[in-house]
Structure 1
């Protein structure tokens, strides 16, 4: 296992800059997930760690070694690709042992390491088979086995589950997490799927336009997103984001939204009165009760244990996630209660998180 440190990393293709001075410290043994929309630079960053892309400027350290100019085969990392990249003419055992044979390890070492990896991943009965005889999940396990036999300092995963169906993705997600718990190898995992990020990571790095937007533990990002971008990206269903301005009403503070309703606010927002903001509330923090939120119902989606109510408030779309069964008529207006302690307020112009005067006082 090794620590990974990235210092002011930049990547350009001619005049086009993809990464804009990214700095990141990954502690030894941690499982870190890079997440973000397509084109944000997460896969480019991973490929630079692997040595598959050159560094324009900045530094990459694996352990105490600066590896900017080190060949991929000499970095003591193992990468698992989206496409599995198995050799079709080789058996499972031959695919898994390929890197060891290239290093001219002894037959005894090769047999031992392949056996160990096959037992960890439940591949022992499949060792004589060829990739064409395997399911998608089995092929992915073989690709992971090929990485394990190298005993790397760092595992790199590049969207390894995106080619699998939904049920198999859930299964493989758990298997990769169990693998990390068993081996304890420092892992950097790239995905565009925030559910994968939330369920697997020790730390999530949210990327946007070649920069780090926010990093932290999964629930830290979920409970306290620092921007509208992170708030909308982390969580499924995503956070409701309603546009309006801070007002006072009957001695209390609220946000007046596009249909004229005033949504409640906790705390002292006197310094923000008149300011245009985005009012964020997660679907599960809305419940039956007071009429804080008057929603015109568009669609009801029952899932059994929960009911999603998809509706509209003025110009904004809203999702309510109820832990109960409900049957509302489309176009009906229904009142819901808001958990005011779970409201998030963002500046409408910058998209950054805002705090009330009382919250700022607590922070100091």
Structure 2
């Protein structure tokens, strides 16, 4: 296991700057997920750590040792790609053992590590099969096993579940999580899927346009997003946002938006009359049983079984409500919304920064 440090990392392709001075540390044994939209630089950062891309500026260290000039094979890392990249003419056993054979490792040690990885990933019955005889999930487990047998200091995952169907992604997420809990190996995982990030990570690094927007645990980012970008990126369905005006008087605060007053706790920051964006998560909106609250017109009702998702219209803005259980409301009904106590978020409209 090992710690990893990124120190003022920059990366440019010609005149196009992809990474803009990123710095953060990953602790020994930590599972860190790099998440962000396509083109934000997360895969490029991972590839620089792997030695597959040159670093334009800055330093990357593993256990405080600068690795900028080390070849990939000398960095003691193992990478699992989006494509399985298995050798089609080799059996599962040979695919998993290949890197150790290249190192001319002892045959007994190789067999021991392959057997151990196969047992961890439930691949024992598949060791003599070829990749063409495996399902997508099985092939991805073989790719993970090939990384495990190297016994690296750091695991790198580059969107490893993107080629799998929805049900298989869920089960593979659980397998990767269980694998990390068992091996305790430092892991850096790249994805654009914020559900993967929320369920897998010890900490999440949210990236956008080559910079870090926020770093924190999944629940920290969900409960206290530092800016509007993070607020809307983390969480599914995404946070409802409404532009409005902050009002403060007599120790109270609220936001005027769409002709209604949206409740807020007293803000230490912000000023009366400031242009703001009001945010509330779909699960923090409830339908009033007393007819009090903000009126909204029902547009779509989407039952999913355990929950019901409502698309509503407030003024000229649409909001989403996620209800536990089922509801009798129908399209075109008028309902009244209440915001759960202490669950509102307020952001400065100009900067996007969270107001505390």
> Scaled by the length of structure 1, what TM-score is found?
0.94
2:285 corresponds in structure 1 to 286
Alpha-carbon RMSD across the aligned residues, in angstroms, is 1.5
Q: Specify the SS of the correspondent of 2:305.
A: coil
Whole-Å separation in 2 of the counterparts to 1:119 and 1:347: 52
Deviations 1:6-34 (CA, angstroms, capped at 9, x unpaired): 10000001110000000010000000000
**C-alpha displacement at 1:315, in angstroms?**
2.7
CA 1:280/1:99 → structure 2, altered by over 3 Å: closer, same or farther? same
1:165 corresponds in structure 2 to 165
Contact 2:247/2:255, CA 8 A, preserved across alignment: yes
1:325 corresponds in structure 2 to 326
Matches within 5 A, 1:118-157: 118-157=118-157
2:346 corresponds in structure 1 to 345
Whole-Å separation in 2 of the counterparts to 1:220 and 1:147: 31
List alignment gaps of at least 5 residues for structure 1.
Answer: 356-364
2:310 corresponds in structure 1 to 309
Matches within 5 A, 1:121-270: 121-247=121-247, 252-258=252-258, 260-268=259-267
**C-alpha displacement at 1:268, in angstroms?**
5.0
**C-alpha displacement at 1:65, in angstroms?**
1.4
Matches within 5 A, 1:7-156: 7-156=7-156
Mean CA deviation greater in 245-254 or 133-142: 245-254
Moved over 6 A (4+): none
CA 1:27/1:268 → structure 2, altered by over 3 Å: closer, same or farther? closer
Contact 2:5/2:64, CA 8 A, preserved across alignment: no
**C-alpha displacement at 1:327, in angstroms?**
2.6
Deviations 1:72-116 (CA, angstroms, capped at 9, x unpaired): 011000000000110111110110011001001121111111111
Aligned residues: 354
Deviations 1:120-163 (CA, angstroms, capped at 9, x unpaired): 11111101100000000000000000000000000000000010
Q: Specify the SS of the correspondent of 1:353.
A: coil
Whole-Å separation in 2 of the counterparts to 1:73 and 1:269: 52
**C-alpha displacement at 1:347, in angstroms?**
0.4
**C-alpha displacement at 1:333, in angstroms?**
2.0
Matches within 5 A, 1:265-276: 265-268=264-267, 272-276=271-275
